A and B are shown apart, each in its own frame.
Chain A
Amino acid sequence: MLSRVADSIYWLNRYIERAENVARFIDVNLHLMLDLPVGMTEQWQPLVYTTGDLELFQNRYGKLNAENVIQFLTFDWDYPHSIISCLQRARENARSIREIISSEMWEEVNDFYLMVKEASSGKPLDALPKFFTQVRMSSHRFAGVMDATMTHNEGWHFGQVGRLLERADKTTRILDVKYFFLLPSAEWVGTPLDQIQWIALLKSASAYEMYRKCQHRITPSSVAEFLILNRQFPRSIHFCLWQAEQCLHEITSTPVGTWCNGAERSLGRLCAQLGYLTIDDIIQSGLHEFLDQMQSSINEVGNQIYATFLALDNC
């Protein structure tokens, strides 16, 4: 298949998944805020912090408040990772490969884009939770339609790899929100408020119910374990990377466990590493540091995929 086409389907899926996860971030923060004890000031900084674009935000908006942060992350045409920008780029990519994807997929992307675009013209703050739910559902619908209407061929696998890498990356960032969200003081760790915050975080990753089924008690380390190492939960980092690895090997026909290019090697190594880690190892080396490391490893996998399959000038 054409490299450009593979590139477009890969990014189509990444952008849709990214839009979904930005909605999840904001959602977790909105919920955390509602549960704050009276007198505590709202914290919007963690949200921008986890995106890695704090400086850009401060240059453009200055004040860190709900309105600015939500505008920045949701409806800012000039911020490339806002929900609306993601959708616009997803749609451009879809349009350039319309003869490759199913028409149902195109319709989903188009409707999704139009929905966000319409919402961008003045949403009151209290209508937002509903809007973020719509964004999440639209993303799920797209994934479902793609799964059910497109041949599971090379292109489809490139799309999956894009979606799964993006999801793994964003799960690390959702976990990081909690790291940056400051409790009034260290003594609050383990209190009901702390509990409530972890629950909100699980809910934002659609993980609360699934977590309860296998862990019962909510402790920071088992929540982290669930979202990082669980082999069955579809938003856990390990699950996403392992699935992405399967897809990558479908594309190249190399057996899993071996490699013939940089992409397979970097992803295989990362999966093997996750497969033999325990949560205690992670906590010992520092959760935030681990997540940081994870983000750059996932980026490296992305770079390798680009260099191996997609770069137009590599041939």
Chain B
Amino acid sequence: MQLEAYDPEDFYDELFLAKGQPRSHSASLIKWMQNLGIEQLQQHQQTAQIALFKLGVTFNVYSDARGVERIFPFDIIPRIISAQEWQKLERGLKQRIAALNLFLGDIYGEQQILKDGKIPAEVIYSAPGFLKPCLGIKPPTGVWCHITGTDLVRDRDGQWYVLEDNLRVPSGVSYVLENRRVMKSTFPDIFQTMLVKPIDDYPSHLLESLLNLAPPYLPNPTVVVLTPGIYNSAYYEHSFLAQQMGVELVEGRDLVVVDGYLQMRTTKGLHRVDVVYRRVDDDFLDPVVFRPDSLLGVPGLMEVYQQGRVALANAPGTGVADDKVVYAYVPEMIRYYLGEEPILSNVPTYLCWQEKDRDYVLKNLDSLVVKSANESGGYGMLVGSTATEAECQQFAQRILANPRNYIAQPILSLSRVPTLIDDRIEGRHVDLRPYIIHRGEEIYVHPGGLTRVALKKGSLVVNSSQGGGSKDTWVLTSEAATSKPTNNQSQS
């Protein structure tokens, strides 16, 4: 089979050390796949795709008029992370989320970090995600970013970098759970030999952290998931999470503020809501305070929230830290709030509002990625190495017109994983989005996360809206941690 001849080429490969030579943590998987043969693999891939389609694991494409859902392409060859490596990532993520949460509390409170001159105040005030109505709010248990989906990538030399923090409403966790479900039913035997960390308890962790946000005197708080509705690209996930947690899935029109409380309209009258896991963006949450044309939110919600009569996860206002200019200051935040050196690095970032950086960026456009500070999903960016002269010039104009809105980073050569492309196995670039739940007294990192893969040859863009797919992500348990169960005694 082709795996013997698989060549990582000039990239960091997650499963292979060199041509035909698997990494130690993936050796048994590779051997097992070799025995299986390519046709079997293809068949399994097909079975898995059909299973996902039947489960209805789909996403919507906004440009599609009749609202057709598509499946997120799934690749059967998993990505493996060793126990040791995961421990480091886990520590790094906990550290980063702790610092970011302290930053959010500070920026909407005392603003000590601005007073101490660690971050220029104008950077914060000019960030569209910075919401004045959130100033002075003290969310329950002091948590702002309850659920984070940090995007990590690995460069040619194997070094990990944080690409984005995604503190607003990160999506994708349903694919993680469904992909695993399908993998387990497709390859039950390999899971027994590989000691892969289980992940099925995500909904329990999520529900637990949401229940924690309700006032302690409520014996049976009502938690809901707030969705923009069936036309949202992540609707499947909203419905999936509500179902898995056993809570109501509501839309803005189901909710109303009456008597100072958030209530939902039921067939038996109004019913009070205590915790909202909202999957609606900040801007749309409350037309009284934010966008007046929003039909997705609830008029008066922010006032109830400010009074502490309902908890929102994530807290409104977290978007300020998703601004790519603010992102550049996260290592500084870690030093400032925790007095520690960052465990995970940022990608070196040039801030175009600074003259020196801007000059450098404009001179070196062809070797940089330029990103708009507040767009995501692979939109609003320029990859200098593949862009045309005209595109570069156009971007240069945009940078000069609005330098605050642009940052630039060196083009990383994302790591690759062997991927089944028709009847061949080829390397494809991947990223990793682990999900982190902040519970107040502790931070939980869900093992693994979503591995997105750019299925187009050579492409570095992994977003589902741009032809990306996904893989199951296996975090291995260290041998030492698994103790053998004691046998039953039998008659001697």
Contacts and interface: CB of A to CB of B under 8 A. Distances in A.
B141 interface: no
Judged by DSSP, the binding face of A is helix
Interface in B49-78: 54-56
A110 B69 CA distance: 12
B19 interface: no
Interface of B: 54-56, 229-230, 235, 239-240, 242-243, 248-251, 253-254, 256, 258, 263-270
A15 interface: no
A214 B253 CA distance: 50
A63 to B, nearest CB: 29
Interface string A79-105: 000000000000010011011000100
B230 A312 contact: no
Contacts of A92: 230
Contacts of A274: none
A76 interface: no
B97 to A, nearest CB: 29
A312 B470 CA distance: 39
A2 interface: yes
Interface in A183-234: none
A95 B240 CA distance: 12
Interface in A22-77: none
B254 A4 contact: yes
Contact of A2 (B55, B230, B239, B266): B266
Given A1-B268, A4-B265, A99-B249, 9 more contacts: A2-B250, A2-B254, A2-B265, A2-B267, A95-B235, A96-B230, A103-B55, A312-B254, A315-B270
Nearest to A92: B230
A94 to B, nearest CB: 10
A312 to B, nearest CB: 6
Interface in A120-134: none
Given A312-B254, A315-B256, A3 B56 contact: no
A310 interface: yes
A154 interface: yes
Interface string A103-123: 100110010000000000000
B224 to A, nearest CB: 9
A165 B251 CA distance: 27
A259 interface: no
A301 interface: no
A310 B230 contact: no
A3 B254 CA distance: 8
B240 A6 contact: no
What are the nearest 6 A-B pairs in CB distance? A99-B243, A309-B267, A3-B265, A99-B239, A6-B267, A96-B230
A251 interface: yes
A2 B243 contact: no
Range of interface residues on A (Cβ < 8 Å): 20 to 34
A1 B264 CA distance: 9
A6 B171 CA distance: 28
B239 A4 contact: no
Contacts of A312: 253-254, 265
A11 to B, nearest CB: 14
A1 B263 CA distance: 13
Given A4-B253, A4-B265, A99-B242, A107 B270 contact: no
B383 to A, nearest CB: 36
Interface of A: 1-4, 6, 92, 95-96, 98-99, 103, 106-107, 110, 154, 158, 251, 309-310, 312, 315
Contacts of B267: 1-3, 6, 154, 158, 251, 309-310
5 contacts: A3-B254, A95-B235, A96-B229, A99-B242, A158-B267
B230 A315 contact: no
A107 B239 contact: no
Given A2-B250, A4-B251, A315-B256, A98 B266 contact: no
A2 B267 CA distance: 6
A275 to B, nearest CB: 27
Contacts of A107: 54
Nearest to A314: B265
Contacts of B55: 103
Contacts of B251: 4
Contacts of B56: 98, 103, 106, 110
A4 B224 CA distance: 14
Contacts of B258: 315
B35 to A, nearest CB: 35
A6 B253 CA distance: 14
Contacts of B229: 96
A154 B240 CA distance: 21
B248 A315 contact: no
Contacts of B263: 315
A4 B239 CA distance: 15
Given A96-B229, A315-B256, A3 B266 contact: yes
B248 A2 contact: yes
A145 to B, nearest CB: 15
Interface-centre pick from A6, A99, A154, A251 (highest chain B CB count, 10 A): A99
A110 B240 CA distance: 17
B254 A99 contact: no
Given A95-B230, A99-B239, A312-B254, A1 B266 contact: yes
Contacts of A310: 267
Nearest to A155: B267
A251 B268 CA distance: 10
A99 B265 contact: no
Nearest to B229: A96
A161 to B, nearest CB: 12
B137 to A, nearest CB: 28
Contacts of B254: 2-4, 312
A301 B305 CA distance: 40
A270 to B, nearest CB: 21
